[in-house]
Amino acid sequence: MLANVNATRMELLGLRKRVVLATRGHHLLSEKRDEISRQLIGIARKIKPLRKKVEAELLETSRRFMMARASMEPEDIKSSLEIPIRKFSLLVEFSRIMSVEVPELSQQASGEMICYGFSNTSGEMDVALMALDRAFESLIELAEKEKQARLLAVELQMTRRRVNVLEHVLIPDLKSTIRFIFDKLAEAERDNTSRLMKIADIIRA
């Protein structure tokens, strides 16, 4: 910047305005960075226990299906699951967290999870299907939180980069240029004063 700067009072005034604007932007971005960090920590704290819950529910579902398989004939298992009447729809809505658009997931379900007769099926099949239904709800919640965390992490990284550029590059460069112009103007003022004094001395002589 120093190579192309014009050492004028107008340039000095413009640079001072830019410093004020950059400082205000740095303050706002720092607040945004801190708030995104706070939101991200809150979501991350929810993800860990939620992931454990999903893993436990999937493990329980798998165990229940294995028990159902052990207590039923293969053709009965196939026929009981062949024509499901339970239908799921995934609804995606969006909200904003510190200007970041994040998804909010929910499910709409219709029909019954258990859609077979009870004569050739075991109670373990009923329990397995209900466990699968619960696991599906938890999976949707986990997917929502992980996607939100991913989007906020990207925004946090970009915001940190902007804060660092303002704090360590732009604002110091502007202030350095202001000092350069101020010194140049002061030097020019001293030269003018010296010339005027010499002229005054000549006139008096």
CB proximity list for 129: less than 8 A, separation 6 or greater: 113, 114
Q: Which two tokens stand for residue 5?
A: 């700067």
Q: Rg of the chain's alpha carbons, rounded to an integer?
A: 35
Least confident of 12-21, 64-73, 119-128: 119-128
The mean per-residue pLDDT over the stretch 118-133 comes to: 80
Q: d(Cα 127, Cα 124) in Å, to the nearest integer?
A: 5
Q: d(Cα 197, Cα 91) in Å, to the nearest integer?
A: 82
Q: How far apart are the first and last CA of the chain?
A: 46
Is residue 116 scored above 70 in pLDDT? Answer: no
Is residue 195 scored above 80 in pLDDT? Answer: no
CA atoms within 13 A on the CB side of 40: 17
Ranges of each domain in the chain: 12-188
The mean per-residue pLDDT over the stretch 94-116 comes to: 84
> What per-residue string of b and e applies to 27-48 under the rule 16 or more CB within 10 Å gives b?
eebbebbeebeebbeebeeeee
Is residue 24 scored above 80 in pLDDT? Answer: yes
Q: pLDDT-based confidence at 1, cuts 50/70/90?
A: low
Query: pTM value?
Result: 0.76
Comparing 52 with 201, the larger pLDDT belongs to 52
- Over the chain, what is the mean pLDDT? 87
- The SS3 call for residue 64 is helix
pLDDT of residue 125: 82
Question: Which class does domain 12-188 fall in?
Answer: mainly alpha
Q: d(Cα 91, Cα 140) in Å, to the nearest integer?
A: 10
Q: d(Cα 97, Cα 151) in Å, to the nearest integer?
A: 10
Q: pLDDT-based confidence at 117, cuts 50/70/90?
A: low
Could you tell me what percent of the chain has a pLDDT over 70? 93
pLDDT of residue 87: 78
Q: Is the dihedral of CA 26, 28, 34, 37 positive or negative?
A: negative
